[in-house]
Structure 1
Amino acid sequence: MNRQTALLFLCLLLAAAQGVCQNPAQNIIGRVIDASTEEGMPFATVKISYEGRGAATDSLGYFTFKDIPVGRYDVEASYMGYAPVVIKDVIVTSSKETRIEIPLQELASELAEVVVTPKVIKYMPLNNMNLSSGRMLSVEEAGRFAGGLDDPARLAGAFAGVTTNIGDNGITVRGNAPKLMQWKLEGIEIPNPNHFGEVGGFGGGGLTALSSLVLGNSDFLTGAFPAEYGNALAGVFDLKLRTGNNNRWEHTASLGTMGIDLSSEGPFKKGGKASYLFNYRYSTLWMISSFLPDGAGQGMKYQDLSLKLNFPTKKAGTFSVWGLGLIDGNKEKPKTNKDEWQYESDRNFFNTSIWMGAIGVNHKYRLNETTQFNTTIAGTYNGIDSHQQALDDNLVEHPDNIIKKNNYNLVLNAFINKKIGHIGNNRTGVVITGMFYDMLLKNADGIGGDVKTVANETGNSALLEAYTEFSLSPSWRWQINPGAHLQYFALNSHYSIEPRLAVKFNINQKQSLTFSYGSHSRTELLNYYFTRNDKGELINKDMDFTRGHHFVLTYDWNIGNDFHLRVEPYIQLLYKVPVVAGSSNSLLNNKDDWFITDKFESTGRGLNYGLEVTFEKYMSNGYYFMFTGSVFSSRYKGGDGIWRNTRYNRNYLFNLLGGKEWMVGKSRRNVLGANARITFRGGDRYSPILVDESITAQEVIFDERLAYSQQLKPVLWADFSVYFRINRRKVSHEFGLKWLNATFHDEYLGHEYNFKTGRVEEYRDGICMPNLYYKISF
């Protein structure tokens, strides 16, 4: 850390230390909205679990509770003819005003005059079109759960049916590859938003570029999606940026072993309605390089910036500008002493730069009391410039591979939301994505071999989508959400018509049963369509969408006010999967292969099925816990017609996490917290090794006829975090340690040929990520 950075944090600390030793308190500001129209609800009743306080919303649905002591509270909102809702675990700190939004769902006519038990919505997605296989991810959880590292992707790994690794945050949902995961930001599909994404594995990276300081409550969906979600097959992370505080200026600065984090928000001018919010992070990993794989961290740097500007108007609706960008760099040098070569990577030189960005303008306009327009125009970009060289036995450097890729998308996302009387609403929209690409991929045929061009293309195409969906409640017991999605890929003229349906039956006010079905499809990585053979012919341009049918049955039981049980069996039938004729090769198993040279045909299949259980206690009385368990099977049929295990068929997965908070110090205004998580799952799969052939070639050669038939031993690891928050008047200080893989588990990274022993070995590394940090908010 340089002198300027140290001086900056010293000044911040001295400035914030002016807070006097009064009992700290802060305001809770919120809004009650109609869940169907997202419009504010005037004169709704709001209660907080502190001294019996209550309030009524103003003409726009806003409410304020002033001078609430630091701590955690439940907030309940109600309105005649609507189901009351309880927001659990609202945290109040001394440094920043707490802002919440409470959606209320209109009741069916026969219940409008009946006293209805308030519903806890913590486990439900924000999108009322989604009735199963989804969960809201809260900002507070992203910062609290052990193993999360303030990363929503890693936090999702604690949910049922979801697997992440230690070394990367690629999300495997119900046995599907991380590359099939869709990331959305403010309703727009964006490129992989993870640092060092697409390098170690498609769909994942080190950690997400979105800081928890700017992230709003978001939805994580794992199957049978509503009709508005297109070009998605495995899961959807529907991320939202929160709106900055337009009442006062607030700032946060954090310094840790993984870097610095700066955030600011507030009104553009005092008394105005417009607001800004931004966050910047910069990191060098040299401080924790001893916990990373050999050589990693020394040459790794990353930075990211995220922002949201919000401009409400009196008559023209609300405009917002949002953006996200990241820059990564990694440089690793080879060992120049041959006697030190143990694995292939020891003789390689890497130089990789990665860029990703997204920026958009959103406009929300209320046409009348029942109709709203929502329009977003956005641009996205991701680029990779990667060069790899290798030393031969004479220490002469040879080119190994080159990846130069620039993808630009221009996106229009527009929909109209119409409330239908007292029974529900309809949402109909279009998404038009203009795709512009410039790519060059080259790969050498061994060290010193010919460098062949795998793909070299510049051009443009388009993905066109349209959808309509309904959310209907003809009676209090039933909710029916039908819909349909259409998408067309201009590159090869393939299209897909996808029906969607969800039906929810409320057994009583505590228990419900939901059946969901979705037909889904997804394109492949663009460079795969431009593979050329030796004659220069495009051999994969006509690849169809990978398609699937997803069936889910969901049982939910709210046990009292603090406990929730969910049981969810599912089955996913995949078809038109790209495979190589007469081979076990299927793109369902592709993890990180850029240099596809085979001809694929869309004749493969896949089958995923399983049972998921979630039992959780929300934070109350100072503690919480959650248990998630999944037993599943993930299989595929290759181009040879044989069914096999997929790479990601780990068979079972269990998580147990929990935590405790203590209010300590004078007047019990400070917080001491501890959190832990234990993960136990089936071992990784791999193909048998052809030992003699591998020794002769001095590289790993697998028996692809028996692809992924072998499985390693089960995996067990633990994460923990501790923190101490000092609340002072208008300022808070937090000291903490967040440790990923505190048990030093040696994670399996593949098989490698060992030059020293002359054998093929499992390549493992005990990757740990400790982040010791200090954070000040004022």
Structure 2
Amino acid sequence: MHKNKTYRAIINDKLKIFLFTFLIVGVQSLSQNFQTVRGQVTDKDTDSPLPGASVVLVQNGESIGVGTDEDGKFIFEKIPVGRQTFKVSFIGYKDAWLRDIEIVSGKQTVLNVQLIPDVYSMGTVEVKGTRRKSETVNEMISLSARTFSVEETSKYAGSWGDPARMAANFAGVTALSDKRNDIVVRGNSPLGVLWRMDGMEIPNPNHFSVAGSSGGAISMINNNLLSNSDFLSGAFPAEYGNATSAVFDLKMRQGNNEKFEFLGQAGVNGFEFGAEGPFKKGGASFLINYRYSTLTALEKIGITIIDAELDFQDLSFKLNFPVKKGNLSLFGIGGMSKANEFAEKDSVNWITRDDRLSSVSGAKMGVTGLTFSKMLSEKTNLRINIGYSANNPYFSKDSLGHDYQRFELTKLAMNEIKKSASIQINSKLNQKNKIRTGIIFRNIAVDNDAWYKIFSPEEKKITYSTVKGNLNLAEAFIQWKWYFSPSMTLNTGIHDQFLTLNNSNSIEPRASVTWNITPVHSLNLGVGMHSQMQPTAIYFSEFTDEAGNILYRNKNLDFTKSTHYIISYDHQISENIRFKSEIYLQKLYDIPLGTQNPYYSLINFGYDDDIFSHEIFVNKGKGENYGVEFTFERFFHKNYYYLITTSLYNSTFTDSYNYKRETRYNCNYAWNVLAGKEIKLSENNLLGFSATVVNIGGQRYTPIDIEESAGAGRTVYIDSLPFSEKYPDFFKIDIRIRFRNNNKKFSQEIALEMANILNKKNIENQYFDFETRQIKYYYLLGRIPVAFYRIEF
């Protein structure tokens, strides 16, 4: 249970006091304040600029319009702060409405609008910007996806500026723990989640991650740097590979290329400072943000909130250089996290074995990506990505002897270095046909140091993996989007991936059809095959034969595979209200099954499991997920919004005895309700309220064998009954209140949030207590007040 203790130390019961209170509300100006709004209008299919497009500010029944220049750019001077609506139109394209955009005094608003060609000239069809969530940033996506904005990651109570925590409000998505941001999508293990930034796969972008996981305690992704991004939950288009569960397709915005702007922020995610501006006005720009652990900063000034030593920091940046008919950009994300837990130094206070233990855990991650894009012709563009990343999650544990001598017990350190290159070409053959094709090559270097020690009958070091290995993953895809009638669109393609380590290959056809039954009713059908390589720690698990030779018995494991079938119905009930329902079936196969423990399937891997093991796997496992999801949403309008989601599902796997069992993540149902309201206090100030209610069916667990545990001196589970029991439902309510103040030279925001306001005791895990000889529980977070302050100037 070492990991649970580490992460429980991050935010525990002692955080029932405020982490800090930052109540600065600058001098309020009496007159109306203004800001500049500018941007660019482009063709969504080709990214080419649209000169002569009309951009209109619609305000109180009046309209103020401007036209775009030869580069598709436009500018409005002195737009009043507050919520504003814009309409963008161009001949031969569908109109785009960007409604209720929040204009603040401390930062220019930059709107990059992509117009969709009106293929059959059906007249005006409103595309409501972030309002129509069915319109994704990636135009090749047809279903099981949602666009999210920076504002959503901030305004949803309980999101804490974290894209993964925000996504847990969507239909089909549940959270494993409120201490971490690992997510379960449609009953799949978090192992199947893919993270991308600006078109490039990135390592787990979270602090306090563990080897093999896709989440962590705190996100390294700084939401202040994001642009609108996509979240996909199934039947991905052909360009997305090496994922079976979900995809975060994130976009980092460009820095302001007209003026310098700065940001200061403090909250649960740390103290941070950001800056952006032009290298040359109207040309190249930079964007940078640094964040440092709130808890560590408070420790340095003598304020101690928890017993463990915690430290994390991260840096994100983007440099952007326009070139002739193209663009060159460089992004980077780097972070370090570390948690120390110390043994009790006085042996008089040693009650259990755990009192003697100390541990160090954390992670180091860095990624950088260079992107070059260029218009090869009016209808074709080229995109080249070159990337480099390093990921090093680690954990070590030792114990004090009776003479206070330190004994090393365990070390689990994974180090992966990835080098990648990709080429993508987008071609608009004509108004009705678009093709996207590309290749991706990724080299992965592995340097693990994972082992443990036993001390009876003699001290011996048992190695999990100390290998320095190397492998390559190559991917290729082609997608075709065809508007074959005024109401129907076909999106089809094929993806192929090949692993050089063992010559595993997977050819994956994918297709979806969209039928716009009426302007407000649509039906989508989708099917796709998907696959994912195993964690490198599995491939390079070391085994020693009788002659002392080192063997890699998992080296020839094939990909885990999954076929998705989806039917989606979307009804735009009114301009601001939408209903959506999806029915899905997922058939999983070639899942690694244990041979030593025939009940162990990698489909059930979680963040509290060790990816390093001596289990020998075979690709004989199967799984099945099916369910139905409902989304009822009012987009922000007239100062309020709400989102109601319900998911009913079943998730099972087949063990080595061909017996169908519940997966760890088969919670069966989940529902979320979130809502928000804004009150305009004056021309320059507003007050906002939001609340989130979450109910998730209880997590599955394997029961403890009490008699065996008492005899063994440790917690022993009944392996033959995997995930046969279920905890009570997870339930919590989060509330948030924020105040926004727009001064002439700067804007600021203060927010107070109460997580789990009812102080519900949700079970995280169980263990055997050796003193009482009873089963006891670890609990998730109780009631926690959180404060937040941001200033922009």
TM-score relative to the length of structure 1:
0.93
Number of the residue aligned with 1:35:
44
> Is the contact between residue 230 and residue 249 of structure 2 (CA under 8 Å) also seen in structure 1?
yes
* Pairing 1:691-706 to 2, within 5 Å after superposition: 691-706=706-721
Query: Secondary structure at the residue paired with 2:32?
Result: coil
> Is the contact between residue 623 and residue 661 of structure 1 (CA under 8 Å) also seen in structure 2?
yes
Count of residues paired in the alignment: 755
Equivalent position to 2:742, from 723, 727, 732: 727
> Is the contact between residue 695 and residue 759 of structure 1 (CA under 8 Å) also seen in structure 2?
no
Task: Give how far 1:353 is off.
Answer: 4.1
> Is the contact between residue 178 and residue 780 of structure 2 (CA under 8 Å) also seen in structure 1?
no
Q: Deviations over 1:206-260 (max 9, x none)?
A: 1211111111111100010000001011000011100111111111101336531
Number of the residue aligned with 2:250:
239
* Pairing 1:694-773 to 2, within 5 Å after superposition: 694-767=709-782, 769-773=784-788
Query: Secondary structure at the residue paired with 1:528?
Result: helix
In structure 1, what is the Cα distance between the partners aligned to 2:418 and 2:767? Answer: 38
Cα 1:654/1:749, change in 2 over 3 Å: same
In structure 1, what is the Cα distance between the partners aligned to 2:350 and 2:588? Answer: 43
Number of the residue aligned with 2:639:
622
Cα 1:13/1:604, change in 2 over 3 Å: closer
- Structure 2 residue 188 is the aligned partner of structure 1 residue 176: yes
* Pairing 1:166-245 to 2, within 5 Å after superposition: 166-198=178-210, 202-245=213-256
Cα 1:628/1:338, change in 2 over 3 Å: farther
Gaps of 5+ in 1: 1-11
Query: Secondary structure at the residue paired with 2:223?
Result: coil
Query: Secondary structure at the residue paired with 2:528?
Result: strand
Equivalent position to 2:56, from 42, 47, 55: 47
In structure 1, what is the Cα distance between the partners aligned to 2:141 and 2:455? Answer: 50
Equivalent position to 1:684, from 699, 702, 708: 699
Q: Which amino acid aligns with 2:637?
A: S
Query: Secondary structure at the residue paired with 2:710?
Result: helix
Cα 1:703/1:296, change in 2 over 3 Å: farther
Task: Give how far 1:95 is off.
Answer: 0.9
Cα RMSD between the aligned structures?
2.3
Equivalent position to 2:358, from 342, 349, 357: 349
> Is the contact between residue 166 and residue 741 of structure 1 (CA under 8 Å) also seen in structure 2?
no
Equivalent position to 1:456, from 460, 463, 466: 466
In structure 2, what is the Cα distance between the partners aligned to 1:572 and 1:343? Answer: 45
In structure 2, what is the Cα distance between the partners aligned to 1:673 and 1:534? Answer: 62
Cα 1:741/1:239, change in 2 over 3 Å: same
In structure 2, what is the Cα distance between the partners aligned to 1:22 and 1:344? Answer: 66
- Structure 2 residue 533 is the aligned partner of structure 1 residue 523: yes
Range with greater deviation from structure 2 (753-762 or 116-125): 116-125
Q: Deviations over 1:480-509 (max 9, x none)?
A: 101000100011110100001010000111
In structure 2, what is the Cα distance between the partners aligned to 1:343 and 1:187? Answer: 50
Task: Give how far 1:593 is off.
Answer: 1.3
- Structure 2 residue 35 is the aligned partner of structure 1 residue 26: yes
Number of the residue aligned with 1:58:
69
Query: Secondary structure at the residue paired with 1:704?
Result: coil
Task: Give how far 1:413 is off.
Answer: 1.4
Number of the residue aligned with 1:8:
none
Task: Give how far 1:314 is off.
Answer: 2.9
In structure 1, what is the Cα distance between the partners aligned to 2:122 and 2:381? Answer: 28
Q: Identity over aligned residues, as a percent?
A: 34
Number of the residue aligned with 2:9:
none
Number of the residue aligned with 2:149:
138
- Structure 2 residue 128 is the aligned partner of structure 1 residue 107: no
Q: Deviations over 1:354-405 (max 9, x none)?
A: 2101111110110110010000111011113432113467765432211232
Equivalent position to 2:551, from 512, 530, 537: 537
Task: Give how far 1:598 is off.
Answer: 1.2
> Is the contact between residue 702 and residue 725 of structure 2 (CA under 8 Å) also seen in structure 1?
yes
Query: Secondary structure at the residue paired with 2:704?
Result: coil
- Structure 2 residue 680 is the aligned partner of structure 1 residue 663: yes
Cα 1:116/1:193, change in 2 over 3 Å: closer
Range with greater deviation from structure 2 (754-763 or 617-626): 754-763
Equivalent position to 1:552, from 566, 576, 579: 566
In structure 2, what is the Cα distance between the partners aligned to 1:166 and 1:287? Answer: 23
> Is the contact between residue 301 and residue 330 of structure 1 (CA under 8 Å) also seen in structure 2?
yes
TM-score relative to the length of structure 2:
0.91
Equivalent position to 2:86, from 75, 79, 87: 75
Q: Deviations over 1:622-648 (max 9, x none)?
A: 111100110001100111211100111
Query: Secondary structure at the residue paired with 1:124?
Result: coil
Query: Secondary structure at the residue paired with 1:567?
Result: strand
* Pairing 1:88-167 to 2, within 5 Å after superposition: 88-109=99-120, 112=121, 114-118=123-127, 120-164=131-175, 165-167=177-179
Q: Which amino acid aligns with 2:222?
A: S
In structure 1, what is the Cα distance between the partners aligned to 2:315 and 2:685? Answer: 31
Q: Which amino acid aligns with 1:548?
A: S
- Structure 2 residue 381 is the aligned partner of structure 1 residue 372: yes
In structure 2, what is the Cα distance between the partners aligned to 1:343 and 1:60? Answer: 70
Equivalent position to 1:675, from 690, 708, 733: 690
Query: Secondary structure at the residue paired with 1:460?
Result: strand
In structure 2, what is the Cα distance between the partners aligned to 1:296 and 1:524? Answer: 37
> Is the contact between residue 371 and residue 416 of structure 1 (CA under 8 Å) also seen in structure 2?
yes
Cα 1:652/1:185, change in 2 over 3 Å: same
Query: Secondary structure at the residue paired with 1:142?
Result: helix
Range with greater deviation from structure 2 (341-350 or 66-75): 341-350
Range with greater deviation from structure 2 (634-643 or 257-266): 257-266
In structure 1, what is the Cα distance between the partners aligned to 2:659 and 2:570? Answer: 38
Cα 1:280/1:430, change in 2 over 3 Å: same
> Is the contact between residue 209 and residue 362 of structure 2 (CA under 8 Å) also seen in structure 1?
no
Number of the residue aligned with 1:567:
581
Query: Secondary structure at the residue paired with 1:83?
Result: coil
In structure 2, what is the Cα distance between the partners aligned to 1:19 and 1:602? Answer: 65
Q: Deviations over 1:522-545 (max 9, x none)?
A: 011101111122312111001110
In structure 1, what is the Cα distance between the partners aligned to 2:470 and 2:39? Answer: 44
> Is the contact between residue 400 and residue 446 of structure 1 (CA under 8 Å) also seen in structure 2?
no
Task: Give how far 1:284 is off.
Answer: 3.8
Number of the residue aligned with 2:476:
466
Task: Give how far 1:35 is off.
Answer: 1.4
> Is the contact between residue 96 and residue 730 of structure 1 (CA under 8 Å) also seen in structure 2?
no
Q: Deviations over 1:21-76 (max 9, x none)?
A: 53111122122221111222122222233132222222222222222211122322
In structure 1, what is the Cα distance between the partners aligned to 2:468 and 2:125? Answer: 60
Number of the residue aligned with 1:298:
308
Q: Deviations over 1:195-215 (max 9, x none)?
A: 11116x821101211111111
* Pairing 1:266-305 to 2, within 5 Å after superposition: 266-269=277-280, 271-285=281-295, 298-305=308-315
Q: Deviations over 1:623-678 (max 9, x none)?
A: 1110011000110011121110011110001000011111113xx32011111101
Q: Deviations over 1:580-634 (max 9, x none)?
A: 2371110011112133111100010010011011111111111111001100011
> Is the contact between residue 734 and residue 775 of structure 1 (CA under 8 Å) also seen in structure 2?
yes
Range with greater deviation from structure 2 (327-336 or 433-442): 327-336
Range with greater deviation from structure 2 (492-501 or 99-108): 99-108
Task: Give how far 1:96 is off.
Answer: 0.7
Task: Give how far 1:338 is off.
Answer: 6.1
In structure 2, what is the Cα distance between the partners aligned to 1:344 and 1:187? Answer: 48
Range with greater deviation from structure 2 (686-695 or 151-160): 686-695
Cα 1:439/1:21, change in 2 over 3 Å: same
Task: Give how far 1:465 is off.
Answer: 0.4
> Is the contact between residue 28 and residue 742 of structure 2 (CA under 8 Å) also seen in structure 1?
no
> Is the contact between residue 443 and residue 595 of structure 1 (CA under 8 Å) also seen in structure 2?
no
Q: Which amino acid aligns with 1:361?
A: L
Q: Which amino acid aligns with 2:553?
A: I
In structure 1, what is the Cα distance between the partners aligned to 2:307 and 2:483? Answer: 54
In structure 2, what is the Cα distance between the partners aligned to 1:52 and 1:181? Answer: 45
Q: Which amino acid aligns with 2:192?
A: L
Q: Which amino acid aligns with 1:192?
A: N
